[in-house]
Structure 1
Amino acid sequence: MRVNSNTKARTRAAAGLTVAALAAGATAGAGPATAQPKAAPAAAAADCSAAYRIEQKLSSGTTWRMCWRYDGKAGLVLEKISYQPKGEPKPIRVLNSARLGQIHVPYDDGNIEYDDLTGFDFAQGLMNLAPGECPGGTIKTVKVPDSWNEDPNVKGLCTTTRSRGHAYRMQGDTANKVFQAQGKDLLVYTVNQVGWYEYMTEWRFQDDGAITMNVGATGSLSWDDYDAGDGRGWPIGKGASAKSTSHSHNAFWRLDFALDGSTKNRVEQYDSTVSAPTRGQRAPTTKTTRTKVTKELAGDSKNYRWWRMVSATGKNKDGHARSYEIVPGPTTKYPGRSYTKRDLYVTQYNKCELFASHNPGNCGPGAGKSVDKWVNGQALTHPVVWMNIGFHHIARDEDQQPMPVHWQGFSIAPRDVTAMNPLTPAELGWQNGHWQPRR
């Protein structure tokens, strides 16, 4: 059971609540937000006004550029996202737009389910962030459309940088030479309160060109749900009388690719099969096949299966077509609704197809209100990717109080975007392809 979001929004405004304590785990070990991230030169800025521009040159030499806006239902939307590693003469466009496509929350007892973006005012619940929640970064002010609060302006968008550990490590030809680098990320995030939950929507832009999108759920378990009389819940507190109702979080993301500035991208699926050794072979063999996806797709992740989005126009310095590989994260696929039964959908772009379920737009007669209904055989000339990552939340004693963040998400990784590792040290730059040790 959730409290009324209208009441929560007004209470939030009056009390001036923040989520500093709840997000502390996500920023543990970092100092206060005293330094603004280093901006890239204005001449190379993304195509938007300064107030809605994010530009960050990371210490490894990679620059990310993008624009942002805030949607009245989807919340944070990132647009015109480009990546420029060192050695590349100009930015490489990756995405037209990237945002959440839905958070669907069905409860195990079958009594209720929520569509948090379109049905439970996710965007209205944008939270003010304290400086300590954005260490070393900048908190931008967001004007929430049609806000219920007297002041629609929320200090709710953090942009900062963060180390992620080793980007690579390699022992050189001699025992006294080690090549290693620590990876750096641009981190962009918001926190939105929906009932008892607080969702951390996080975007990580890595210096090696990968993008990771996560949703972290924190906040509080609803004490109203400690009744699980159907026997499905997990006991919370002393004894077994109070049981928290289990539920799922099915998060969808919507990615509109524009590799090298063109939306005419190609979709490819790769599957590998492993065969037992035949006579004379010393080990099993693996064969990988490519399938060109030319029509809309409802796909399932499988062992030895992956997808990539291929540029229609751009190639790297080796002459290979640039692409991004889709890397699903851990997931629990929810079988209860038709739109959650698949891991990935690729649809032909339609400006009214914005949310994976309970889509509010009028997409025409018979179009349906969920992403599975939009996969109807259209040719893919402007593909849009929908990723579904599920989490089955069976509560535990440690979920109180407050509840530790539980994360779900996925990544897209560059495949042949650059001719070599974009973080390659200069003295190894000659070792591209089939090389022999220098004498």
Structure 2
Amino acid sequence: MRVNKISRARRRTAVGLSLAALAAGVTTGSGPAVAQPKAAPAPPAECSPAYRIEQKLSTGTTWRMCWRYDTKAGLVLENVSYQPKGEPKPIKVLASARLGQIHVPYDDGNIEYDDLTGQRFAQGLQNLAPTECPGGTIKTIKVRDPDYSDTQDIKALCTTTRARGHAYRMQADEDFGKIYQAQGKDLLVYTVNKVGWYEYMTEWRFQDDGMINMNVGATGSLSPVDYDAGDGRGWPIGKGARSKATSHSHNVFWRLDFALDGSSKDRIEQYDSVVSPPARGQYAPTNKTTRTKVTKELAGDAKNMRWWRVVSATGKNKDGHARSYEIVPGATAKYPGRSYTKHDVYFTQYNKCELFASHNPGCERGHPQSVDKWVNGQSLTHPVAWVNIGFHHIARDEDQQPMPVHWQGFSIAPRDVTAMSPLTPAALAGQNGEPR
């Protein structure tokens, strides 16, 4: 919630970060040791060392990327590549990944905010204490204030590794019931930005199996001046029926510019499955999946058994299958109050000025300012993906004080990027295709 419903006090806080490569954590597995391939020559650097993130995880996967800090979007990750063990060179995944907007409308209809383009999100970057980045490093970001032409050094960018639990577990039918298991490892990159009373934790998790998780967590404090909600538009969190905190939504957009295998000419495909009752003579229902090639700009809605994937135009795995990444939406509460929040996914043709999902600055006069208006039938030769995940925040007693983090986000999952799981133990490497 906000400092007040008309304006917010300008908050400037020092922040800092230090990035550098981290020591890989230990991952265990009871399967046989995996022979490591000969190290390939290091790929050419796409940014200077100060703006480079490179991390080899203990399971053999290496993630590489560059970072920069935008005066409105905050942290931007670029040239993201993934190199699992056994692959001779990095596999390019994303040209650019960042937030596309945080839209916050209040249930009483009195106000709404566009935090990235209207509420100085980037200038609210926060310093991180060493204990907030356990086992990692914090890199300093220079934050420029476009309104006052000054710059602050803020220790704000944490890069570390985290265990995520089981990556897999399998008890073999043969080999005397041997158990194969491994503990998964992630590279975590995150910053914290303060807007009014809220603090947004923007995190990117890069898994050793090629998955990328994007999440925003809202924490901080409920606004002390937003306790005047009427019935149905708030929740009492003080004694009795007093102090009704005004409910509101957080509609978070991410903007992803894929570049699978280094090409921007990716293809978009939509898949829908339909379950039919058993036909005469059949025992069980049937399920048929159909593929639709998305060749023009699309405003897409999530439905049961519907998903999208971004397909490489140039790269194939060792099985000869086109590499792709599947978009996996997280839990969402879709907000129908604005045209640009009515859809879950947008695929638009690349336009260098189309950077924010709502109240987008920087385009020529007359250019539409929201992502829904950019979907106008253009052919997709260089698609940009926009993912909208909503959260309707109805406060509760446990939200004070401070407010626990509430997360919203989604993932992109590798689909046929490698011929087998990049974490397959050596003893099972021959089991590609139909089991023998």
Residue 363 and residue 373 in structure 1: after superposition, are their counterparts in 2 closer, same or farther (change >3 A)? farther
- Residue 380 of structure 1: aligned partner: 380
Q: CA deviation at 1:232?
A: 1.7
CA distance in 1, matches of 2:359, 2:313: 33
Paired letter, 1:288 = T
- Residue 22 of structure 2: aligned partner: 37
Q: Is the 8 A contact 2:93 2:262 kept in 1?
A: yes
Q: How does 1:356-367 map to 2 (within 5 A)?
A: 356-363=357-364, 365=366, 367=367
- Residue 92 of structure 1: aligned partner: 91
Q: CA deviation at 1:362?
A: 1.5
Q: CA deviation at 1:320?
A: 0.3
- Residue 350 of structure 2: aligned partner: 349
Which stretch of structure 1 is more off in the superposition, 150-159 or 87-96? 150-159
CA distance in 1, matches of 2:92, 2:222: 41
- Residue 26 of structure 1: aligned partner: none
1:235 aligns with 2:220: no
Instruction: State the SS of the aligned residue for 1:191.
Output: strand
1:66 aligns with 2:65: yes
Q: How does 1:306-321 map to 2 (within 5 A)?
A: 306-321=307-322
CA distance in 1, matches of 2:45, 2:341: 35
Count of matched residue pairs: 416
Deviations 1:290-349 (CA, angstroms, capped at 9, x unpaired): 000000000000001000000000000000000000000000000000000000000000
Q: CA deviation at 1:151?
A: 5.7
Paired letter, 1:139 = I
Paired letter, 1:308 = R
1:137 aligns with 2:140: no
- Residue 293 of structure 2: aligned partner: 292
Q: Is the 8 A contact 2:144 2:151 kept in 1?
A: no
Which stretch of structure 1 is more off in the superposition, 227-236 or 419-428? 227-236
CA distance in 2, matches of 1:165, 1:87: 23
Instruction: State the SS of the aligned residue for 1:152.
Output: strand
Q: Is the 8 A contact 2:40 2:89 kept in 1?
A: no
Instruction: State the SS of the aligned residue for 1:408.
Output: strand
Q: Is the 8 A contact 2:197 2:221 kept in 1?
A: yes
Paired letter, 1:420 = M
- Residue 27 of structure 2: aligned partner: none
Q: Is the 8 A contact 1:109 1:230 kept in 2?
A: no
- Residue 53 of structure 1: aligned partner: 52
Paired letter, 1:131 = P
Q: Is the 8 A contact 2:9 2:196 kept in 1?
A: no
Q: CA deviation at 1:364?
A: 5.3
**Which consecutive unaligned segments of at least 5 residues does structure 1 have?**
19-32
Which stretch of structure 1 is more off in the superposition, 378-387 or 35-44? 35-44
Instruction: State the SS of the aligned residue for 1:334.
Output: coil
- Residue 32 of structure 2: aligned partner: none
- Residue 104 of structure 1: aligned partner: 103
CA distance in 2, matches of 1:327, 1:87: 26
Paired letter, 1:399 = D
Q: How does 1:188-199 map to 2 (within 5 A)?
A: 188-199=189-200
- Residue 408 of structure 1: aligned partner: 408
Give the percent of matched residue pairs that are identical in Structure 1 and Structure 2: 78
Which stretch of structure 1 is more off in the superposition, 146-155 or 120-129? 146-155
Instruction: State the SS of the aligned residue for 1:43.
Output: coil
Deviations 1:69-105 (CA, angstroms, capped at 9, x unpaired): 0000000000000000000000000000000000000
CA distance in 2, matches of 1:133, 1:38: 17
- Superposed CA RMSD in Å reads 2.0
CA distance in 2, matches of 1:258, 1:226: 46
CA distance in 2, matches of 1:219, 1:41: 45
Instruction: State the SS of the aligned residue for 2:225.
Output: helix
CA distance in 2, matches of 1:364, 1:84: 43
Q: How does 1:266-281 map to 2 (within 5 A)?
A: 266-281=267-282
